[in-house]
Structure formats: C-alpha cells, structure tokens
C-alpha cells in the first residue's frame, strides 16, 4: 500500500521567512495530493491540493509543487506569519478519497 514520508518533523522560522515542507510517496498510482493545517485540538483544514497532471499550484502565500518522477511533493509558505504556526500534514490518494497521511510537521513562526 501507499506510504507517505514527511520532513522535517519540526520547523522553526522567523516571521517573514519562507517555510518548505517535503513529502515523498511510494505508490506511483497516487494522483491526488492535499495539504492540511491542524491547530491544537481541532480537525485538519484543507489549505491546498494538487493533482498528478499539474506540476505546481499557488494560492496567495501558499504553493505546492509535485515531481511525479521522483514521487516528491512540497508545500511552500512565503512571508510566514505567527498565525501560520500549526501542524501541517501532507497526504496522498490513489483510491478516490482514501487518504494516506504523512507524519506531520510542526511549524513554529516566531515574531
């Protein structure tokens, strides 16, 4: 089955810096890659997603890139703000909605 690895497990940046979180997946049949932000005591919130027929997608300060050949995808957050502090999860899916999650990255943005 699918296996998703995520790095780093923790990431500390200064406000205004960029943050990059990387994931790799094992199943070449995976075709949908969402990213979720989870704040303490809350459910995950979908922040951006990408399909396998697209290499990059942007939404304001957030972007996701996908390298199908290498089975890598990354989340890029520019101009980070303290409210970006949270746990971020990547996920992969090859079976329509059944997501396999990465292990999570705890992002801390210091003012």
Partner 1 sequence: GAVVSQHPSRVICKSGTSVKIECRSLDFQATTMFWYRQFPKKSLMLMATSNEGSKATYEQGVEKDKFLINHASLTLSTLTVTSAHPEDSSFYICSASGGTGEKLFFGSGTQLSVL
Q: Which residues bind partner 1 (CB under 8 A)?
A: 32, 34, 36, 41-46, 49, 89, 93, 96-104, 106
**Tell me, what DSSP letter sits at residue 55?**
S
In order of 12, 21, 30, 71, 103, the CA distances from 108 in angstroms are 5, 13, 30, 27, 16
Instruction: Rank residues 60 and 97 by Cβ distance to partner 1 and give the closer one.
Output: 97
Among residues 61 and 98, whose Cβ is nearest to partner 1? 98
Shorter beta-carbon distance to partner 1: residue 54 or 79:
54
- Distance of closest approach, residue 83 Cβ to partner 1, in angstroms: 18
Q: At 29, list the tokens.
A: 């049949």
Nearest to residue 107, comparing CAs of 33, 43, 32, 17?
17
Q: Which CB atom, from 39 or from 79, has the smaller least distance to partner 1?
A: 39
Compute the distance between CA of residue 77 and CA of residue 19 in angstroms, rounded to an integer: 5
CB of 6 to partner 1, least distance (A): 8
Least separation in angstroms between CB 47 and partner 1? 10
d(CA 108, CA 87): 9
Minimum distance between the CB of residue 42 and partner 1, rounded to whole angstroms?
6
């Amino acid at each position: 089955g699918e296996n998703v690895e995520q790095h780093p497990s923790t990431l500390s940046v200064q406000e205004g810096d960029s943050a990059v979180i990387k994931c790799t997946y094992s199943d070449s049949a995976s075709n949908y890659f969402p990213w979720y932000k989870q704040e303490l005591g809350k459910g995950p919130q979908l922040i951006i997603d990408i399909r396998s027929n697209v290499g990059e997608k942007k939404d304001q300060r957030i972007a996701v890139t996908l390298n199908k050949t290498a089975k890598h995808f990354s989340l890029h957050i520019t101009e980070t703000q303290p409210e970006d502090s949270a746990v971020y999860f990547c996920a992969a899916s090859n079976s329509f909605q059944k997501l396999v999650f990465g292990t999570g990255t705890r992002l801390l943005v210091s003012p």
